[in-house]
Amino acid sequence: MTQQTETQAAAGAVIIPVTLFQQNCMLLWDETTRQAVVIDPGGDVPLILDAIAKANVNVEAIWLTHGHIDHVGGAAELRDALKVEIVGPHADDKFLCDAVVESGERFGMTGARNFTPDRWLKEGDSVSVGGLHFDILHCPGHSPGSVVYYNKAMKFAHVGDVLFAGSVGRTDLPGGSHETLIRSITQKLLPLGDDVGFICGHGPGSSIGQERLTNPFLTGEA
């Protein structure tokens, strides 16, 4: 009874690969309340709406990890379709959120629109959906305003494009810095603990421990 005073909410989730970048758009919900969020709706909004209908959940918000087109290209359209608020990323990615149209045109993505989040996020903030609570870690380097969503109770993080299974985010785009990125990973993500699993913006997820031991960008082999 003593350690069960805070009941752990059960989570459900599906990944919807979107855009030509096969970005891992995530529909995440509290199994008890069916309250849900969509993380990084990069595009292909009809696919996302389909997944929401199949899961039979109530989406309350859109959460963004950073401002790159493959993560935010469908944000304005989905916001208007669902009448929900957009939360994140950090305000340092405002220049990207203001340039979604140009980015979309560069990659032939139609329908991508600029937007202003209802709430910018910063280090130390927290966000919730149902009984699922996430702490916000500001992890610049891939983009200046990248944030990570960390759920301590579930030992789970959504790291956007900061860290990948066997790799790290690219840093050759505007505002990128490899040195800053590695500092974000070593100072904010590795301390979360080896048993923390994560999903990232592209490809399979991994765990902090697996990456600490084998990721060439962290072991000094890259």
- Figure out which of the listed residues 30, 44, 60, 70 binds Zn ion, where binding follows CB under 5 A: 70
Q: Is 92 in the site for Zn ion (CB under 5 A)?
A: no
Quote the least distance from Cβ 191 to Zn ion, whole Å.
Answer: 23
Quote the least distance from Cβ 34 to Zn ion, whole Å.
Answer: 28
Nearer to Zn ion, 71 or 79 (CB): 71
- Figure out which of the listed residues 41, 48, 60, 68 binds Zn ion, where binding follows CB under 5 A: 68
Q: Is 145 in the site for Zn ion (CB under 5 A)?
A: no
**Site size with Zn ion, rule: CB under 5 A:** 4
Quote the least distance from Cβ 176 to Zn ion, whole Å.
Answer: 9
SS (H, E, C) the chain: CHHHCCCCCCEEEEEEEECCCCEEEEEEEECCCCEEEEECCCCCHHHHHHHHHHHCCEEEEEECCCCCHHHHCCHHHHHHHHCCEEECCCHHHHHHHCCHHHHHHHCCCCCCCCCCCCECCCCCCEEEECCEEEEEEECCCCCCCCEEEEECCCCEEECCCCEECCEECCCCCCCCCHHHHHHHHHHHHHHHCCCCEEECCECCCEEHHHHHHHCHHHHCCC
Nearer to Zn ion, 34 or 188 (CB): 188
Compute the radius of gyration of the chain from its Cα atoms. 17
Quote the least distance from Cβ 10 to Zn ion, whole Å.
Answer: 28
Distance between CA atoms of residues 178 and 74, nearest Å: 28
Nearer to Zn ion, 44 or 161 (CB): 161
Nearer to Zn ion, 89 or 130 (CB): 89
Nearer to Zn ion, 131 or 203 (CB): 203
The contact mask relative to Zn ion for 160-199 (x = CB under 5 A, - = no) is: -x--------------------------------------
- Figure out which of the listed residues 88, 201, 215, 218 binds Zn ion, where binding follows CB under 5 A: 201
Q: Is 74 in the site for Zn ion (CB under 5 A)?
A: no
Are the C-beta atoms of 174 and 95 separated by less than 8 Å?
yes
Distance between CA atoms of residues 94 and 28, nearest Å: 25
Binding site for Zn ion (CB under 5 A): 68, 70, 161, 201
